[in-house]
Amino acid sequence: MSSKLNKNEKCSAWQGVIQDFSGDKQVFDMSWGKLMMWIFLLSDTFIFSVFLTGYMHARMAATDNWPVSSEVFAMTIAGNSIPLVLIAIMTFILITSSGTMAMAVNYAYRGELKKTVYLMSATAFLGACFVGMQAFEWTKLIIDEGIRPWGNPLGATQFGAVFFMITGFHGLHVSAGVIYLTVIAKRVNSGVYEKKGYQIVEITGLYWHFVDLVWVFIFAFFYLW
Amino acid sequence: MTGSEVQQHPIGLYLKIWILLFVLSTCSYLVDYMEFQGFFRWALILIFMFMKAGLILSVFMHVNWEKPALKLLLFVPLSAIVILIILMSIEADYTFLNRFIYLLKV
């Protein structure tokens, strides 16, 4: 079942698809909770894609110069101006939280619940750090740079609107994820899932990895482009 | 349930992917830090972005070990987004041109 499929297995993969869809059974071989999380994430993908496409349109159609993000988001540390340093740290924090989440899922299926709870708490903590740093970044932009959703002193008016909408919506997802993780970690700890099994940890993980995935795209298109 | 047999990967796999994601993130940060410009910059940004997204999706989110039916569910609808992006970029060029002509007249 590894990624290396030979020709016969590839053939049977498509036959499997046909069997899944045409057979007298449920199409997706997974629990409803996991499938619904996937469908939710697909719909969320559309929301973020439309936001990013709207950003592309605003930026391409703007006649004023688009502010240079590596200068806007630079921070002065020990006298040197380092471009994007806070954003880079936020990226590493989110990737680390994804790593701890993946391990939490693994330990949950092995039945090592103490480790699962610790790792989920660590994930939630890192997520909270991320939101905190984002709040710091917003404060800096609003107060020091004078960037507003309706305009800014640096160039194209649309910059503020796009920035606050996209990072705000992502930050909202991270905040919701922190709450979600905390609730599930608490319930795992108190033994709610002893009979049901621990797939809930995997479902929570899917959501959390998705938040990280969206950040990869925001980081590339908004901050680096 | 298929879920339980899927999860038998060693922890080391996740650590490896984690390190790989760290390296890729550093690379994409360096694209900005080294001040690459133009086509080269965009190509590098996109390459690192898709590599990171691919690793997160296939290993962390376990899509690699899911059945093809789910992969189809996830990736076929995305073609609509590709079409949207193409249409909107054409439209954005048109809007820009019109604004530009308008500003020239004034």
CB-defined contacts A:B, below 8 A: 161
Low-confidence ranges of chain A (pLDDT < 50): 1-2
The reported pLDDT for the residue numbered A1 is 46
Domain annotation covers residue A63: yes
What digits encode the pLDDT tens for the residues A25-65?
888 888 999 999 999 999 999 999 999 999 999 999 998 88
- Structural domain including A114 reads 29-224
Nearest to B46 by CA among A19, A106, A225: A225
Residues near B65 by beta carbon (within 8 Å), at least 6 away in sequence: A1, B6
Assembly ipTM: 0.90
Which residues of chain A are within 8 Å of residue B22 when distances are taken between CB atoms? 92, 95
Tell whether A37 is covered by a domain.
yes
Nearest CB to B72 within list A17, A83, A109: A17
Tell me which H or E stretch contains A82.
strand A80-82
- Output the pLDDT for position B9: 82
Token readout for A137 is 């970044």
* CATH number of the domain enclosing A181: 1.20.120.80
| pLDDT > 90 in chain B, percent | 66
Chain A residues inside the 8 Å CB shell of B74: 38, 42
pLDDT at B24: 94
Q: Do A220 and B103 touch (CB under 8 A)?
A: no
Q: What distances in angstroms separate CA A192 from CA A118, A184, A197, B102, one per listed residue?
A: 17, 9, 9, 65
Would A10 be classed as within a structural domain? no
When pLDDT is cut at 50, 70 and 90, the band that residue B32 belongs to is: confident
What's residue A133's pLDDT? Answer: 95
Q: What is the arithmetic mean of pLDDT over B65-72? A: 90
pLDDT averaged over every residue in chain B: 89
**Do the chains contact at A60 and B96, CB–CB below 8 Å?**
yes
Query: At residue B106, does pLDDT exceed 70?
Result: yes
A56–B88 CB contact, under 8 Å? yes
Residue of B nearest to A215 (CA): B53
In the chain, the amino acid numbered A150 is W
Using the beta-carbon criterion (under 8 Å), do A61 and B96 form an inter-chain contact?
yes
Domain assignment present for A15: no
Beta carbons of A197 and B4 less than 8 Å apart: yes
* A162 within 8 A of A216, measured Cβ to Cβ: no
Which residues, in sequence order, are CB contacts of B2 under 8 Å at separation 6+? A29, A30
**pLDDT (0 to 100) of residue A7:** 60
pLDDT for position B10: 87
pTM tops 0.95? no
For A140-198, where are the alpha helices, taking DSSP H only? 158-189
Question: CA-CA distance, A30 to A15, in Å (whole number)?
Answer: 19
Residue A35 pLDDT: 94
Name residue B93's beta-bridge partners: none
Domain membership of residue A21 (yes or no) is no
Q: What is the token pair recorded at A59?
A: 């930026």
Alpha carbon distance B37, B45 (integer Å): 11
What pLDDT is recorded for position A19? Answer: 87
Number of domains in chain A: 1
Structure tokens at A90: 């936020």
